[in-house]
Amino acid sequence: MKKFLYIVVLLAIIVGAVTLVFKKDESGSRTKSTGQTANTSDGFNKKQYSTTDPTSIWVVVNKQHVLSPKDDAPSDLVVPNVLLRVPGNESMQVRKPAAAALEAMFADAKTAGLNLMLSSGYRSYAYQVNLYKGYVKTDGQATADTQSARPGYSEHQTGLAADIEPSTQKCEVEQCFADTPEGKWLAANAYKYGFIIRYTADKVNVTGYEYEPWHVRYIGKELAAELHNKHVETLEEFFGISGGKNY
């Protein structure tokens, strides 16, 4: 009888130990699984596109990062089917993905009762040479460097940047554009179409440029949504890339 009770107790101990091990394994498995799920849902792939290749929609161009080659020109420039400030001018072009996004954004703005106009898009290396020289001649180099990029360092040369203004040209490429109905709509909705306001008021030390509420940069809907959801304003901060005011 005693032997029987001993066997029963021993079996109970063994079963209990096995159960405990199973629970620990199960708990560890769930924790690991939860971690993997969190990493998958929150693990945005920052290496999906290059930040240095000029053909990439994520290319980062600033005073610390020049285009390579310096005189690079996109191969897929088109004129978007939107209201243009200077029809026929080189600067009325953007790259194809940016053009499609602009067309959708302008159409939705019009539905909202707002008429947007493309003020400036692509600028070639040669175009930027003349533009930058003009700023330097008028305002001096120090001031010019807060307003205009040196040739090879301009987002406009990528064909992914666009300056937007109201069709009335009110506050045309001026900071007061932010206070217009068009400027407010653009700031609130640009990310939905794959754009960001590239040079914000509180990130001058990061981007190197004064506040430009009219300047949007196409980066694709996925990245634009990620920056919007994470409340990150600049590409430099998101990707951990140097920028700043100095070349």
| Span of 23-27, 143-147, 189-193 with lowest mean pLDDT | 23-27
pLDDT digit string (tens) for 44-68? 999 999 999 999 999 999 999 999 9
pTM: 0.82
Chain segment 170-196, per-residue pLDDT in tens = 999 999 999 999 999 999 999 999 999
- 149, part of any domain: yes
Residue 34 lies in a domain: yes
Please say whether the beta carbons of 227 and 196 come within 8 A. yes
Residue pLDDT, tens place only, 61-100: 999 999 999 999 999 999 999 999 999 999 999 999 999 9
Using pLDDT thresholds of 50, 70 and 90, give the confidence band for residue 9: very low
Question: Coil, strand, or helix at residue 212?
Answer: strand
Supply the pLDDT for residue 7: 45
User: Is 63 a member of any domain?
Assistant: no
Q: Quote the number of domains for the chain.
A: 2
**Would the pLDDT of 15 be above 70?**
no
What is the pLDDT, as a whole number, of residue 6? Answer: 45
Asked if residue 32 and residue 83 are part of one domain, the reply reads no
Residues 145 and 204 in one domain: yes
32 and 111 together in one domain: no
Is residue 37 located within the same domain as residue 136?
no
pLDDT score at 42: 63
Question: What is the DSSP-derived secondary structure letter of residue 62?
Answer: B
Same domain, 111 and 203: yes
- Of 212, 226, 233, 237, catalytic: 212
The CATH number for 180's domain is: 3.30.1380.10
Q: Is residue 70 part of a domain?
A: no
| SS3 of residue 96 by DSSP | helix
164 and 208 both lie in a single domain: yes
3-class DSSP state of 128: helix
Q: Are 239 and 228 in contact, with CB atoms under 8 Å apart?
A: no
- Measured distance CA(228)–CA(224) in Å, rounded: 6
Give the residue numbers spanning the domain of 38.
Answer: 1-43
CA 202 to chain centre: 16
Residue 190: predicted pLDDT:
98
Mean pLDDT on 31-50: 58
90 is catalytic: no
First-to-last C-alpha distance (Å) of the chain: 91
